């Protein structure tokens, strides 16, 4: 396993894994229309290029040999999707390809988020997780996160609820 920080050179690969992992994770519970609308909005090249260029956001790939197995996106400051304060780091995206589930890649990516938070002097790490994603919720609870709130998440025009989970470092 290898972990690297993404740069603008990784844009095509980032777009590919973003679309693939999001689709694998949510296609069964959402209509193709809502899923495709979200993919086009969140994972088009222009949007991802802006996110990669933002100094308050960082992306990381985790590899199994030469294949990207998953990725992480963390945010600080005003790039956080909720106002959580300057002492917080948001894990906005943490996805692993389905064929690599249960092999420790999620743990590696989450550990990287904790490392980045510590390096930046943050006291809390938080994330939003879909209220129906029971496996992810269980994983985060096991890692010490507790539910501290909720916020809406739109899949196309379908309003869903993400639980806000926080871990104090």
The closest of 85, 56, 98 to 73, measured between CA atoms, is: 56
Fill in the DSSP letter of residue 152: E
DSSP 44-81: SHHHHHHHHH-TTEEEEEEEETTEEEEEEEEE-GGGSS
The closest of 54, 35, 33 to 43, measured between CA atoms, is: 35
By annotation, the residues acting in catalysis are 140
Q: Give the whole-angstrom CA distance, residue 24 versus residue 95.
A: 10
Q: Give the whole-angstrom CA distance, residue 76 versus residue 113.
A: 11
DSSP count for the chain of H helices, then E strands: 5, 7
Question: What are the two backbone dihedrals, phi and then psi, of residue 168, each rounded to the nearest 5 degrees?
Answer: -85, 130
């Amino acid at each position: 396993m290898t972990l690297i920080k993404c740069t603008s050179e990784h844009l095509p690969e980032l777009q590919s894994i973003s679309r693939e992992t999001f689709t694998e994770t949510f296609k069964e519970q959402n209509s193709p229309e809502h899923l495709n609308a979200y993919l086009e909005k969140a994972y088009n090249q222009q949007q991802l290029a802006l996110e990669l260029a933002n100094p308050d956001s960082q992306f990381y790939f985790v590899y199994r040999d030469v294949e990207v197995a998953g990725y992480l996106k963390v945010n600080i400051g005003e790039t956080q999707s909720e106002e959580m304060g300057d002492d917080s780091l948001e894990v906005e995206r943490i996805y692993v390809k389905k064929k690599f589930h249960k092999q420790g890649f999620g743990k590696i990516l989450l550990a990287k988020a904790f490392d980045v938070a510590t390096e930046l002097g943050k006291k809390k790490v938080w994330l939003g997780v879909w209220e129906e994603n029971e496996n992810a919720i269980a994983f985060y609870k096991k890692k010490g996160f507790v539910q501290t709130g909720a916020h809406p998440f739109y899949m196309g025009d379908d309003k869903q609820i993400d639980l806000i989970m926080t871990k104090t470092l």
